[in-house]
Amino acid sequence: MTVGEMLARVSSSELTEWAAYEQVYGPLGSAHDDVLHALMAALVHNMWAAKGKGKPPEDFMPQWDQRKEDVDAKIRKAFGG
């Protein structure tokens, strides 16, 4: 789908809601994607790191805000509530 097609199908308010959701919960997609990217980042880092200076994939995992009350407050604030 092109940008023009997407804009014809999705309203401005819906696009704003998705942007607010992504700000609170992180990028759209699955946690599986985060794990795969962390594995690749660790692999590349460890190939070039000095011996004994490698890092585990966990060091490359994004830390999304998981506190439910903070998430709810951010969503209400994003929508003016």
* pLDDT tens-digit map of 6-32: 889 999 899 889 888 888 877 777 778
Spatial distance between the Cα atoms of 5 and 22, rounded to a whole number of angstroms? 21
Structure token pair of residue 34: 């985060």
What's residue 19's pLDDT? 86
**The model scores a pTM over 0.85:** no
Structure token pair of residue 49: 């790191």
* Span 54-63, pLDDT tens digits: 999 999 988 7
Spatial distance between the Cα atoms of 54 and 67, rounded to a whole number of angstroms? 30
Spatial distance between the Cα atoms of 57 and 25, rounded to a whole number of angstroms? 21
Sign of the CA dihedral running 4, 8, 10, 13: positive
Q: What is the mean pLDDT of the chain?
A: 85
Helix (H, G, I), strand (E, B) or coil at 69: helix
